[in-house]
Amino acid sequence: MVNEQVLIKDKHRVLKIFLKISIVLLILIAIVLAIFFLGFFKNEGNKIVLENPIKGILFANTNEAGQVDKQKVIEQGVLEFNEDYLNYIIAALGVNNLHKSYIGYGNPIIEMNIDNQAWNSEVVKGALLTKQGATDLEDLKIIMTKQEAVEALISPNIKEFMKTSVKNGNTQIEMIAGKVELGSKGYLAMYKELTGEEIAIDE
């Protein structure tokens, strides 16, 4: 009789421990999912609006009939390439969706490899800080040529140009950070719009 009572108590203890562990795990999973999806739906209202940096070159190479000498624009644009070109492209890619991580990963940082020259851009309180040089803190890496960047700037629809460029392999996007970190910084919408692919949380 005593043994039966002990066995019943032991069964209840094991069940209670199992339930407690299960509840804690479910809460942790719910928190991670909430953070991940907040990154997808949250828009902190970063209104980065920039003027096309190649506007002056376009004007200088447009004749009275309104015809643009595209080759000259590309050549001059490649020669004068600077961080303003990258800021404009990144802004067009959907940087307004990016924000500081809610779980301590810091600000969004994008590294760009342009003709084997490294640049990095950080989103800080709605502003883009772009400078030359590599970084060890990048979330994403974008690889393209200066010519492709200039052609994006002179295209009538830069978003569509970049989507086509990614699809054709002229621009590569590499995910460096983990999926939860990317989600917590708001990269999901930007990545899906560019590649047509979801960033899956289960990896």
Give dist(CA 195, CA 60) in Å, integer.
Answer: 34
* CB-based contact 101:184 (threshold 8 Å): yes
Residue 139's closest CA among 181, 102, 104, 172? Answer: 181
Q: How confident is the model at residue 44 (pLDDT cuts 50, 70, 90)?
A: very low
56-68 mean pLDDT: 86
Give dist(CA 143, CA 120) in Å, integer.
Answer: 12
87-92 mean pLDDT: 89
Give dist(CA 31, CA 102) in Å, integer.
Answer: 12
Q: For residue 117, is pLDDT > 90?
A: yes
Q: How confident is the model at residue 193 (pLDDT cuts 50, 70, 90)?
A: confident
For 136-180, give the DSSP string.
S--SEEEEE-HHHHHHHHHSS-HHHHHHHHHHHTSSEEEE-S-HH
44-56 mean pLDDT: 71
Percent of the chain residues past pLDDT 90, beyond the cut: 39
Q: Taking all residues of the chain, what is their mean pLDDT, rounded to a whole number?
A: 82
What is the H or E stretch that residue 23 is in? helix 2-41
In this prediction, residue 23 carries a pLDDT of 84
Q: For residue 199, is pLDDT > 70?
A: no
In this prediction, residue 115 carries a pLDDT of 95
For 66-89, give the DSSP string.
S-B-HHHHHHHHHHT--HHHHHHH
For residue 9, which amino acid is it? K
The larger pLDDT score, comparing residue 39 to residue 167, is at 167
Please tell me whether residue 123 adopts helix, strand or coil conformation. strand
pTM of this prediction exceeds 0.75: no
Q: How confident is the model at residue 116 (pLDDT cuts 50, 70, 90)?
A: very high
CA 127 to chain centre: 15
Tens digits of residue pLDDT in 94-104: 887 888 988 88
In this prediction, residue 3 carries a pLDDT of 52
